[in-house]
A and B are shown apart, each in its own frame.
Chain A
Amino acid sequence: MSFSITSFFDSFKSALLYAPVTIKLTAITFVVSLLLGAVIATVRNYRVPVLSQFFAAFVTIYLGLPTMVALLLYNLLFMTFYSDVAAALHISVPISDVNPIFIGYITLIIGTTCSVSESIRGAFRGIEKVQYEAGYSIGMGKFKTLTRIIFPQMVPILLPGMQNSLIGLLKASNLVSAISVVEIMTGALLPSLMYYSYLEGYVAAALVYWMIGAAIEILAHFAEKNSGKYLKRTA
């Protein structure tokens, strides 16, 4: 057995065909997690009673749970309880018609929300109190100050961390292959199953992931260059 270039190209083409699945999974999860993470971080930053304690405990505990364990657990819960819940809600879609990628979305969104909320909480600390006071002094409310003054200033602080989260999420999205979602890795293996050319399949998958990761890095580089402009002008 040796490395065959033709099966590598077959796998590469097949992997590219399924790249949109991974990109969509990564992008949607990232945007939703960013919004939810911002809400959780804001709640914890303003110390909203009950909610902030709940989120603090939840985030701390949940960050200890590996994505793979969560994924298998949710998948199992879904398999076990789907028919009961569907019957109670009068949903007539059989379990075989439900795409398992939904479980992937839920798992990745909860996990990423927790880690992103921690980064955003860190960014809150990077904003001086004067900035809030400046907003209040010209008659802005709490919410307006937050969206118009505080959040925009957090962007340059957050960008490097967000780049890491996004690449981490891209890699974590690979785990959904364990619940039989066809994404880049399983896509690259489809031709391999016929010829037992597994190494070629995995190398092809790695190459596609690497390309997407490099694209994210380039985009993040441009974003970082542009977002900090107002800081550099004053310095």
Chain B
Amino acid sequence: MGNYFSAERFINVFPKVISNLSVNLHIVFWSMLLGTILAIFVAVLRIRRVPVISGLLGIYISFMRGTPLLVQMMIAFYGIPIVLGNLFLNLFGINLNRLEPVIFVEIAIILNEGAFLGEIFRGAITSVPSVQAEAGYSIGMTGAQTFYRIVLPQAFKVALPHYGVDFIGVFQNTSLVFILGVVDLLGKAKTLGAATGHSLEGYLSAAIIYISFSLFLKGVFLLIENRLNNGTAKAV
């Protein structure tokens, strides 16, 4: 490889790239936090079968699942200032065209996660057998009590593995944000590559960081799952 790759440059570049991991984690944190809250609403409204809203949510989920995240990000980036620009300028005095692109990225991921996590939560809640809810009612619990004390803890256990996979997916999806000009891991690798003329070391650093952090997250979720399964006897 000789000229193309040098360990010296790699050692030089790696700390610079990893310092931008915080940008990715910032996106993951806010997207997952607000996305989870949105998803709970989506799941509850879908399960309750609220007439018109349920149909609209069906279209929303289908759109979010059927189109690439990159396209969604771009629509958020170009569309939100056009649709809401005047409103925000007159009401709050905020010029949406001047906002940081990272905010539009986060909005896109939040909306995307609202659909994906919403389906995960809905599946988890409906997977709890109806006998469980009836057991709650039979001992005189109210609807809300039954939901929070009996259905939700069981649904949580079903949803957790899927939630973990989705969480790692969001972390990996942050690799797209450099296209909108956010300087994250890849963005940094790219700018360093452009400045020095050697991109390979930067990209390799980004790849190593993505792989090790994904594996780390996987381990954390496995640990939580094992913790949760401690109370139950192993079936089969």
- Residues of chain A having any CB pair with chain B under 8 Å: 1-3, 60-61, 63-70, 72-73, 76-77, 80-81, 167, 170-172, 174-175, 177-178, 185, 198-199, 202-203, 205-206, 209-210, 212-214, 217
Contact = CB atoms under 8 A, between A and B. Distances in A.
A2 B186 contact: no
Main secondary structure on A side of the interface with B: helix
Interface string B52-82: 0000000000110111111110110011001
Interface residues of B, number: 36
Contacts, number: 101
A73 B186 contact: no
A60 to B, nearest CB: 7
B75 A64 contact: no
17 contacts: A2-B82, A64-B213, A65-B214, A67-B175, A70-B207, A73-B207, A76-B199, A76-B203, A80-B4, A167-B65, A172-B68, A198-B78, A202-B78, A203-B75, A210-B67, A213-B62, A213-B66
Contacts of B74: 198, 202
B214 A72 contact: no
Q: Which of B75, B212, B213 has the most CB of A within 10 A?
A: B75
Main secondary structure on B side of the interface with A: helix
B206 interface: yes
B47 interface: no
Contact of A199 (B63, B79, B179): B79
Contacts of B4: 80-81
Interface of B: 4, 62-63, 65-72, 74-75, 78-79, 82, 168, 172-173, 175-176, 179, 186, 199-200, 203-204, 206-207, 210-215, 218
Given A80-B4, A171-B68, A178-B179, A69 B82 contact: no
Which 5 A-B residue pairs are closest in the complex by CB-CB distance? Answer: A213-B66, A64-B214, A174-B68, A64-B211, A66-B172
A86 to B, nearest CB: 16
